[in-house]
Amino acid sequence: MSSRTFPLLRQLGYLEKNHVRVKDPVKTEELLQRLISGGFPKLQIVADFDYTLTRVHDETGKRLHCSWGVLDNSPLMPEFYRPESKVLLDKYYPVEISPHLTEQEKIPQMVDWYKQVQELLARSRITSISVRQMVEESNTQLRIGTESLLASLEASEVPVLVFSAGMGDILMHILRKFQLYSPNVKIVSNFFKYDYEDCVVGFENETIHMFNKNENVIHSSPYFKNMSGRNNVILLGDSLGDIKMAHGVPDPGAILKIGFLNDKGSLLPQVEERLSSYEEAFDVVLIDDQTMDAPMAIVKLML
């Protein structure tokens, strides 16, 4: 392959790095050309949160908390919460990631899982104040370079939609903790509903789980319609269900899908077992990459 082939992919370093996989370089090069040609005025970002904007582990290999993990690992939660939450995780998470079940077979069980989580939260009687404190005390970290990426997008007035099946209040407080909840960022997630005593009683609106991110209210709301002219998208996700997050974009142009193939230890099959399905779903696959270097490199070409 000559040095003149796929100039943008080579300039970005995507073809030279072992942890970056591009199954269809012809298609991906074309998408990059259209993204960069359109520039910031035509761009929007659609990103998952847990283990997409946030890191899975630190430099020592220590596991870091996702939004669910903030509660699971907080001493402020009642003693019964963590073991009961783990029972639900052990029962339903294998269903979510199973390659042997169809999406339609998984959805009813995801609904059951989230329903039971809400019941568990209601029994826990946590308040908005304790939620903020849990976030402050958690070990959640953003991927290296996330601050720079979001700052560049804010400065360039690029809208960022954070679309998550996690817990919206926790996402919001994490972004505020790192001073990144800027006006161009919109969160669509499972926000808590509070009672008159300021205790969580469940989720506010329709539950968002991994397999209805393409059907949620955001896609029937004015959000994407208000993104007039912004029909180019950089989509960031770490699960196969994330690829549907941008389905509501009207008259879609270039939609570049970047997938973080995380090593989650015993929670998931090994990276090698999942690589093929990720390469089919995402244009660019980043294997156990705890940085935002790949998307930031694209943004830098637009500056």
Residues 18 and 99 in one domain: no
Going by their DSSP bridges, the two strands 160-167 and 200-203 should be labelled as: unpaired
Domain with 104 in it: what CATH number?
1.10.150.340
- Same domain, yes or no, for 130 and 180? no
pTM: 0.93
Average pLDDT score over the chain? 92
Which of 122, 137, 152 is where one domain is finished?
137
* Domains: count for the chain: 2
Residues 184 and 277 in one domain: yes
Residue 278 lies in a domain: yes
pLDDT > 50? residue 263: yes
Residue 1: inside a domain: no
Q: Same domain for 178 and 282?
A: yes
Task: Tell whether 81 is covered by a domain.
Answer: yes
In terms of domains, do 130 and 159 share one?
Answer: no
CATH number at residue 185: 3.40.50.1000
| Residue 24: inside a domain | yes
Q: For residue 212, what are the domain limits?
A: 7-59+141-195+203-302
Residue 288, SS3 per DSSP: coil
User: Distances from the Cα of 94 to the Cαs of 99, 104, 137, 279, 283, in angstroms?
Assistant: 10, 15, 29, 21, 26
DSSP structure string for 149-164: HHHHHHHTT--EEEEE
Q: Are both 35 and 74 inside the same structural domain?
A: no
Q: Is 50 a catalytic residue?
A: yes
* Cα 182 to Cα 176: distance, rounded to the nearest angstrom: 9
48 is catalytic: yes
71 within a domain of the structure (yes/no): yes
Q: What is the mean pLDDT of residues 179-195?
A: 96
Round to whole Å and give the CA distance between 47 and 188: 10
pLDDT in tens, 52-87: 999 999 999 899 999 999 999 999 999 999 999 999
Whether 94 maps to a domain, the answer reads: yes
Q: Is residue 47 part of a domain?
A: yes
Q: How far is CA 181 from CA 3, 60, 93, 162, 238, in A?
A: 41, 28, 29, 11, 21
Rounded mean pLDDT, 248-253: 84
* Phi–psi pair at 275, nearest 5 degrees: -60, -45
- In a 3-state reduction of DSSP, which class is residue 103? helix
- Looking at the fold, whether 27 and 167 belong to one and the same domain comes out as yes
Confidence of residue 265 (pLDDT cuts 50, 70, 90): low
The catalytically annotated residue of 24, 50, 251, 283 is 50
For residues 78 and 173, membership in a common domain is answered with no
**Do residue 23 and residue 158 come from a single domain?**
yes
Based on the domain organization, do 264 and 129 belong to the same domain?
A: no
Annotated active-site residue in 24, 48, 169, 238? 48
Tell me whether residue 2 is in a domain. Answer: no
- 178 and 261 belong to one structural domain: yes
Residues 169 and 288 in one domain: yes
